Amino acid sequence: MSASPFKTRIFSGIQPSGGLTLGNYLGALKRFVEKQDEGIETVYCMVDMHAITVWQDPAKLRQQTREGAAAFIAAGIDPARSILFNQSQVTAHAELGWIFNCIARMGWMSRMTQFKDKAGKNSENVSLGLFAYPSLMAADILAYKATHVPVGDDQKQHLELCRDIAIKFNNDYGVDFFPVVEPVIEGAATRVMSLRDGTKKMSKSDPSDQSRINLTDDADTIAKKIRKAKTDPEPLPDNLNDLKDRPEAKNLVNIYAALAGHTPEQVIADFAGAQFGTFKPALADLAVAKLEPITLEMNRLMQDPSEIDRILGQGADRAEAIARPIVDQVYDIVGMIRSRGR
Ligand code: AMP
Ligand code: TRP
């Protein structure tokens, strides 16, 4: 990757705030596995402290954290090669998050579109944590001096903020301590859209379950949701440009491409002129073929929650070994006395 003085290290996270969707899989998980398999050092985190920025039932949070971890492993994350853990077990995240709260400016945070979307008209009544969320996200990444962060398109602005925080910290303290991270937003499905509305992101928090494919859906449910997905009456065109004003059709083509590991151009070449009556069953078959083994493996792993907890605990020990010395150096840079145990 780049020729920066920092060692290449990947960090990314997913919130255990609900079941994972096809959007999470194609935009994030699948690409996390690819990075691991390229032999790069990879650190992946279930960000449970981010999840509680909106209310989470404690029992469900635990369940979703384990389910998320099971999805990582089922999708191909090998806990021996990647570090896989949950955020709250490594306190360096919260500690560095506080320091970054004192680096980030109110004005920067106020411009975050995800906060504006999530807070909506309710901005007086959302948690302070929801506002500070991107600063904790910067801490997640920089506690490891990670250089590259694979995410979906919706996280681009948060990663720009992470760069701003790293640059301001380095400038304020006259150091070259934190790397300026590179977002890795690539592939055909950086933004998987809702199956009900091609202008809205597929999301685990959408009230309609028909709008998304969950990684826990069985084969029948997946096929049914794809068959019922909103489309238009036109057949597929013979070039991508003609999908410009057809968001639902474009979304299905992108999903097909990402699942098949093809480019959208190849998919259009294969299905030019096809009606959705032909394309949708082909997409449903492909989706089931790719997702069913993951779902089955997730279910198998979920039979033994204590084994998942053990893996997360071991991952946390390895994560801590990297993050602790980095955050200790931050304390020294900032001017905090550390004299315990002397
Ligand atoms: P979240 O579920 O918000 O914690 O997101 C976890 C990861 O999945 C992030 O990298 C997101 O950018 C990615 N992601 C979430 N929804 C989608 C989507 N609809 N399309 C592509 N990537 C997504
Ligand atoms: N904010 C990300 C999301 O909602 C999740 C996240 C938290 C994350 N910390 C991160 C992603 C660090 C990448 C790196 O999708």
Examine the residue annotation and report whether 204 is marked as an active-site residue of this protein.
yes
Residues 167 and 42 both lie in one domain: yes
Backbone angles phi, psi at 201, to 5 degrees: -65, 140
Q: For a substitution probing ligand 1, which of 154, 192, 205 has the most ligand atoms within 8 Å of its CB?
A: 154
Q: For a substitution probing ligand 2, which of 9, 144, 151 has the most ligand atoms within 8 Å of its CB?
A: 151
Residues 226 and 317 both lie in one domain: no
CATH number at residue 220: 1.10.240.10
Residues 87 and 103 both lie in one domain: yes
Please give the number of the atom of ligand 2 that sits closest to the Cα of 136: 9
- Longest pairwise C-alpha distance within the chain: 75
Residues 314 and 266 both lie in one domain: no
Please say whether the beta carbons of 22 and 212 come within 8 A: yes
State the catalytic residue, choosing from 30, 145, 201, 225: 201
Q: How many domains does the chain have?
A: 2
Residues 49 and 96 both lie in one domain: yes
Residues 180 and 125 both lie in one domain: yes
CA gyration radius, the chain: 21
Residues 14 and 128 both lie in one domain: yes
Report how far ligand 2's centroid is from the alpha carbon of 279 (Å): 33
Tell me the helices (H) and strands (E) count for the chain, helix number first.
14, 5
Please give the number of the atom of ligand 1 that sits closest to the Cα of 21: 16
Per-residue pLDDT of the chain (342 residues; tens, 9 = 90+): 555 789 999 999 999 998 999 999 999 999 999 999 999 999 999 999 999 999 999 999 999 999 999 999 999 999 999 999 999 999 999 999 999 999 999 999 999 999 999 998 888 999 999 999 999 999 999 999 999 999 999 999 999 999 999 999 999 999 999 999 999 999 899 999 999 999 999 999 899 999 999 999 999 999 999 999 999 999 999 999 999 999 999 999 999 999 999 999 999 999 999 999 999 999 999 999 999 999 999 999 999 999 999 999 999 999 999 999 999 999 999 999 999 988
Q: What is the DSSP letter of 84?
A: E
Examine the residue annotation and report whether 7 is marked as an active-site residue of this protein.
no
Whether residue 201 is contained in a domain is answered as no
Whether residue 194 is contained in a domain is answered as no
Tell me the residue range of the domain where 181 lies: 9-185+304-334
Residues 89 and 19 both lie in one domain: yes
Ligand nearest to the CA of 190: 1
Residues 231 and 324 both lie in one domain: no
Examine the residue annotation and report whether 145 is marked as an active-site residue of this protein.
no
Q: Is 141 in the pocket of ligand 2 (CB under 6 A)?
A: yes
Q: Exposure of 101 by Cβ count < 10 A (0-12 exposed, 13-18 middle, 19+ buried)?
A: middle
Residues 78 and 160 both lie in one domain: yes
Please give the number of the atom of ligand 2 that sits closest to the Cα of 146: 14
Residues 232 and 115 both lie in one domain: no
Q: What number of CA atoms fall less than 13 Å from residue 339's CA on the CB side? A: 3
Residues 176 and 223 both lie in one domain: no
Whether residue 202 is contained in a domain is answered as no
- Torsion sign (Cα): 272, 277, 278, 283: positive
